[in-house]
Amino acid sequence: MLASLSIKNFALIEQLDIRFSNEFSIITGETGAGKSILLGALGLVLGRRADLTSLKDKEQKCIIEAHFEIKAYTLQPFFEENDLDYEDTTIIRREILPSGKSRAFVNDSPVNLQELQQLGDFLLDIHSQHQTQELSNEEYQIQILDAIAGQQPLLQEYKGNLSTYKAVKARLKKLQSEKEALVKEQDYNSFLLEELLAANLKEGEQQEYEAVFEKLNNVEFIKESLDKSLAVADEEQIGVTQNLKEIKASLQKIAGLSAEYQELFDRVSSVLIEFDDVSDEIRKHAETLMSDPEQLELVNQKLQLIYSLQKKHQVGTVEELLVIQNDLDNKAVFADDLEAMIHSLEKELEATIVVLDAKAAAISESRKQAAPVLIEKIIAILSELGMPNARFEFEIKQTDTYLLSGKDEVQLLFSANKGTSFGLLKKVASGGEMSRIMLAVKAILANYTKLPTIIFDEIDTGVSGEIAHKMGDIMKKMSKQMQVFAITHLPQIAAKGNQHYKVFKSTQGENTVSELKLLGNEERIVEIAEMLSGKDISDSALNHAKSLLIE
């Protein structure tokens, strides 16, 4: 329940500190006195967005703090899930800084507006005239039926299955798109793979073929160079070999005379041995070298194939071509694996659909069973509220679409008078009828939900007299199970409250401020008398007010 509210520097309120009881509280005041400001402050506590226009003094920050007693409402799991400190008396604070920045705190822990809104849904229901139109909303009608049916656990299971269904369906759609793209590429990829496989590529072979090609393509030039080298080496009189031998023989004669000459002799001997070996290698190359046009053509064709493939795939090496070949081969394998995964997901989706359909059918059946129970309860209350001939009918039809709350489309039909046909509630019910129907619904829901606090903002619109009496009785009865506030202009309802608060404006110097005051017994008589007769309060109005308070 809302235990207390503190407001500082908000709209026309400079400073307000007020405590509330857990019973039926009435709030009255002239139009424009500040009732909407009070609701606006509570709206900020519940997570509504704020702006600088909320500040009375633009140089000071606005602070709104609400204390809620929540021990009886099993909200510990919410606090744990959102990593918040739980307190039986939970304090929600909103601050609006002169800079326009807004901050929110739950038990002094910073929270974002989404978390605040979620917590607010468990704490407070502000029912405005605008929200009466919610009754025409199909989603709200479904929520009412589900509350009566008590099927929140089943709905949670359904939502879990729906989440799985959507995830599997999204995964399946993604894989099917990948498969479609692969199918489009498959023929071309197969051609590319076959082309690379036919080339029978091996690592390092490009360099080998290029070396062989250079050799075969320059046979005459190479042979000429080798022959000339052999001629220079082996010429009988002036060949390099003969000259080295003569140098060796000359040095041999003096090698024994000193270590230096011996070293020169040894070095020349080594050169001669090495040169002989080189000459033999040149001779072997010269003897084995021959022109082979066919081999040259084969090597050239292989190289041209490699170059062509490299150009096509925009790479520069055989190794890179082999990587592409492996990727193409993997794609072919992946296509087969993809088909298997798609088949598996299709089976999983079918199984999920079976479960979803079963849950949706169970939810729908529960709603069909809850509908006559709800209608009977609404009619019983409306009979007290001057609508004895009201009739209702729920049309519940399953669709092929998986909605967040099942597969049902729901329409609430209404007839206010005997002999009139049913029509859609939003089209045939008047404003006064909608107010009474909504009050009846809220009164019924109070027995099925654990909402701590409800604020009725002029739900009595369009009614008066004896009907207002009955509406007040219903709200007072609701207050036995939950904290109820009623903002009203009707004295018949105002007299039903356990506490009565008045919103009024006053002038303080050059400023106009709004204030909220808990009325004493005498003040309350005067306030209700004024509601009955206006500013000029008559004795009969005072007596009438007293009689209303006694009832």
428 in a domain, yes or no? no
Q: Which residue has the higher pLDDT, 409 or 229?
A: 409
156 in a domain, yes or no? no
**Residue 422 DSSP symbol:** P
- Locate 241 and state its tokens: 């070999």
- Report d(CA 524, CA 530) in Å as an integer: 10
| 112 and 220 housed in the same domain | no
Report the Cα–Cα distance between both ends of the chain, in Å, rounded.
Answer: 27
Least confident segment among 388-392, 444-448, 452-456:
444-448
* CATH code of residue 77: 3.40.50.300
302 in a domain, yes or no? yes
Q: Which residue has the tokens 């039903």?
A: 496
Q: Which residue has the higher pLDDT, 289 or 394?
A: 394
Q: Is residue 506 scored above 90 in pLDDT? A: no
Backbone angles phi, psi at 456, to 5 degrees: -95, 115
What burial class does residue 58 get, using C-beta atoms within 10 Å of its C-beta: 0-12 exposed, 13-18 middle, 19+ buried?
Answer: exposed
164 in a domain, yes or no? no
Q: How many independent structural domains does the chain possess?
A: 2
202 in a domain, yes or no? yes
- The full 3-state SS of 40-88, as one line of letters, equals HHHHHHCCCCCCHHHECCCCCCEEEEEEEECHHHCCHHHHHHCCCCCCC
Last residue of a domain, one of 316, 337, 358: 337
**Residue 535 DSSP symbol:** S
Q: Which residues contact 382 (CB under 8 A, 6 or more apart)?
A: 388, 390, 436, 437, 440
pLDDT in the model for residue 215: 67
Q: Which of 156-160, 173-177, 326-330, 462-466 has the highest mean pLDDT?
A: 156-160
468 in a domain, yes or no? yes
- Report d(CA 236, CA 231) in Å as an integer: 9
Q: Which domain holds residue 14?
A: 1-128+451-519
**Angle 422-425-428 from CA coordinates, rounded to 5°:** 70
529 in a domain, yes or no? no
Q: Are 22 and 453 in contact (CB under 8 A)?
A: no
| 190 and 108 housed in the same domain | no
pLDDT tens digits, residue range 83-140?
Answer: 999 999 999 999 988 888 889 999 999 999 999 999 988 898 888 766 677 788 888 8
| 212 and 274 housed in the same domain | yes
| 93 and 213 housed in the same domain | no
| 99 and 183 housed in the same domain | no
| 189 and 86 housed in the same domain | no
| 186 and 327 housed in the same domain | yes
- Report d(CA 103, CA 97) in Å as an integer: 8
Q: Is residue 357 scored above 90 in pLDDT? A: yes
pLDDT in the model for residue 318: 82
- Report d(CA 151, CA 145) in Å as an integer: 9
209 in a domain, yes or no? yes
Last residue of a domain, one of 337, 354, 386: 337
| 124 and 194 housed in the same domain | no
| 319 and 455 housed in the same domain | no
- Report d(CA 123, CA 35) in Å as an integer: 20
Least confident segment among 1-10, 25-34, 50-59, 262-271:
50-59
Residue 37 pLDDT grade (very low, low, confident, very high; cuts 50, 70, 90): confident
| 46 and 114 housed in the same domain | yes
Least confident segment among 27-31, 116-120, 360-364:
27-31
pLDDT in the model for residue 13: 87
Q: Is residue 186 scored above 90 in pLDDT? A: no
Last residue of a domain, one of 281, 302, 337: 337
- Average confidence (pLDDT) over 347-363: 94
| 188 and 325 housed in the same domain | yes
Q: Is the dihedral of CA 157, 163, 166, 170 positive or negative?
A: negative
Q: Is residue 334 scored above 70 in pLDDT? A: no
| 85 and 217 housed in the same domain | no
pLDDT tens digits, residue range 484-497?
Answer: 999 998 999 999 99
pLDDT in the model for residue 92: 95
Question: Does the pTM of the predicted model rise above 0.75?
Answer: no
